[in-house]
Structure 1
Amino acid sequence: MSNIKIVTDSAIALTPEEIAQYDITVVPLTVQIDGVVYEDGVTLQRDEFLEKMSKSDTLPQTSQPSIGKFQAAYDAIHQQYPESEILSMHLSSGLSGTVHAAEQAAALSAAKITTFDTLNADRAEAFPVLAAAKMAQAGASMAEILAEAEKVRSESHTFLSFTSLDNMVAGGRLSKTSGIIGNLLNIKVGATVDQTGSVEVVAKGRGMKAIAKFND
């Protein structure tokens, strides 16, 4: 049995099979849509989120897990596996305060916890987490796992394509006037998550051909 347990958050894209196979604990973020608060992956699934977002009057708002939720997760693992360490790997600090909440919770828990900023989200967040989980099951040390996670992190990248600028305006990343003009001119945007873990616009163009070229 592994002496290192893996914790992550619901911004990650893992299959239920991967979560079960590698015994990964997922702490959910919360999502507020039209005044209703959901737990990501618990009371709201990804396909439901997209449907509700398309019908929502306002842009959905996400919140990082509370320090209390992280501490509860850590303490539950520690109670069941008192001899195990915990590696808590999370959504980019450039996109969310999730990893900082994990760090604060770690200071309150009796468990021995190491936190790790994946500097990414979605499936790119999953790559270092899965690498760590596989090594943990194989009996690797924390130092060995962290070295491999850092290597995988450096090789993992996220690319984003925006076919509409509406959500960028609603999220405050683009002015309303720029959004209106951009939509009228059929402007499409390509972005990536940079080395600091923040979203950076790297391509703009008119029409879907611009997006197709960016995706290539």
Structure 2
Amino acid sequence: MGKVRVVTDSTSDIPKSLVEELNIAVVPLKVLFGEQETYEDGVTIQAKEFYENLATSDVIPSTSQPSPYQFEEVYKEIDTEDQGCDIISIHISSKLSGTFQSAVIASDVVKETINVTVVDSKRAAYSCGMIVTEIAKLAKQGATKEQCLSRLNELLKDTTIYFMVDTLEFLQKNGRIGKASAVLGSLLKIKPILSLNEDGEVYPVDKVRGQKKALAKIYDYLEKDYGNQPIIVGVIHANTIELATEIMTEMRSRFNISSEVFTDIGPVIGAHVGPGAIGITVTLAK
């Protein structure tokens, strides 16, 4: 029975304790503050430091994907450690980043000697990370590649994310919404409830005035989606742990939670959504 190893990228925002426990290989993206400061997401800059830098920086940071060579090196390193293992490489939506394409190119380079299956999660942040984590748990239990891919298909179908941003400035400056919409939304204190569609693109689910009303809407959506079925929950936040804690408390009171994770929105995703963003990601437990 062949061993399975799981690879992802740093935008999955998986807590380091889980990365280590489940032996997940994480390929970092980069965050750039202007032309002078370049950091590797989760390696040379962590979430706390990123949001501190963001608060004092005069520039909106930009991001860049890993090169195919970075993925190639990771695949080769895994093959050296576990010769003959199957690699499942799961990544941020191809509609949001070129990371998936870099992984595909690398897998093609090594295909003669290393068996790599590259998957577009069509998700971002911990909605991708949750999928990665569940597959890595199966792999650790000794599941075959076929068993892992079967569960992966279920997770891709069942995993949902709803998120909100505290300010529309970052989405506007990164080209996700127009300037007029950002200014008007900020003036009216409108909180767009955002999600990812089946193609992996960000879209507005609803527009609500005020955070409490927006959260109430999200809980309603999740109740409609999942009812009383056992679920896995991830609450993700960009430097807003108190709100994240309140949300998890509310989720516990409303839903049949099998397991739960708190995690930071890391530097790369944080560069696009800004501080104060909050998200809830859910999938069916098995």
Q: Using structure 1 for the length normalisation, give the TM-score.
A: 0.92
Distance (Å, rounded) in 2 between the aligned partners of 1:184 and 1:213: 22
CA contact (8 A) 1:58 1:170 kept: no
Unaligned runs of 5+ in 2: 220-286
2:68 matched residue in structure 1: 67
Paired-residue identity, %? 32
Tell me how far 1:147 sits from its aligned partner: 0.8
| Greater relative contact order (CA < 8 Å, ≥ 6 in sequence) | 2
The answer on 1:164 being equivalent to 2:170 is no
Aligned partners of 1:204 and 1:210 also within 8 Å: no
Retained in 2: the 8 A contact 1:127–1:153? no
The equivalent position to 2:204 in structure 1, one of 188, 191, 201, is: 201
Alignment of 1:211 with 2:214, yes or no, is yes
Alpha-carbon distance between aligned partners in 2 of 1:154 and 1:183, rounded to the nearest angstrom: 34
Secondary structure of the residue that 2:5 maps to in structure 1? strand
Cα distance change, pair 53–102 in 1 and its aligned pair in 2 (3 A): same
Superposed counterparts of 1:154-193, under 5 Å: 154-193=157-196
| Separation (CA, whole Å) in 2 of partners of 1:177 and 1:154 | 35
Rounded to whole Å, the distance in 2 between the matches of 1:121 and 1:34 is 24
| Aligned 8 A contact 1:93 1:100 in 2 | yes
Amino acid of the residue matched to residue 57 of structure 2?
Answer: S
Map of 2:17 onto structure 1 = 17
1:207 is displaced (CA, Å) by 2.9
The Cα shift of 1:120 comes to 1.1
Gap change, CA 1:122 and 1:2, over 3 Å in 2: farther
Tell me, yes or no, if the aligned pair for 1:34 and 1:57 is still in contact at 8 Å. Answer: no
The verdict on how the C-alpha distance between 1:33 and 1:214 changes in structure 2, with shifts beyond 3 A counting, is farther
**What is the alpha-carbon distance in structure 1 between the residues aligned to residue 80 and residue 94 of structure 2?**
28
Of 123-132 and 174-183, more deviation after overlay is shown by 174-183
1:6 aligns to 2:9 (yes or no) = no
What's the CA shift for 1:176?
2.1
Corresponding residue for residue 49 of structure 1? 50
Give the alignment partner of residue 136 of structure 2, picking from 120, 133, 144.
133
Unaligned runs of 5+ in 1: none
* Equivalent-residue separation in structure 2 for 1:194 and 1:99 (angstroms): 17
Q: Secondary structure at the match of 1:32?
A: strand
CA–CA separation in structure 2 for the residues paired with 1:25 and 1:79: 14
Q: Distance in 2 between matches of 1:22 and 1:134?
A: 6
Would you say the 8 A contact 2:2–2:84 is kept in 1?
A: no
Aligned pair 1:28/2:31, yes or no? no
Alpha-carbon spacing, 1:208–1:23, altered in 2? closer, same or farther (3 Å)? closer
Could you tell me whether the CA contact under 8 Å between 1:9 and 1:91 is conserved in 2?
Answer: yes
Partner secondary structure for residue 160 of structure 2: coil
- Counterpart-to-counterpart distance in 1, 2:211 and 2:136: 39
- Once the two structures are superposed, what CA deviation does each residue of 1:1-59 show, in whole Å capped at 9, x if it has no partner? 96111111101122222111211111101111233110000001012222222333232
**Aligned to 2:49, what secondary structure does the other structure show?**
helix
What is the identity, as a one-letter code, of the residue corresponding to 2:67? S
Which stretch shifts more, 84-93 or 182-191?
182-191
Distance 2:140 2:183 in 1: 51
SS of the residue 2:101 aligns to = helix
Corresponding residue SS for 2:11: coil
Is residue 149 of structure 1 aligned with residue 152 of structure 2?
A: yes
Aligned residues: 216
Q: Distance in 2 between matches of 1:83 and 1:115?
A: 17
1:120 corresponds, among 119, 123, 139, to 123
| CA deviation vs aligned residue, 1:119-165 (integer Å, no higher than 9, x gap) | 11222112221221122222222111101011022211111112322
Give the superposed CA RMSD: 1.8
**Residue pair 1:128, 1:150 contacting (<8 A) in 2 also:** no
Displacement of 1:209 after TM fit?
A: 4.0
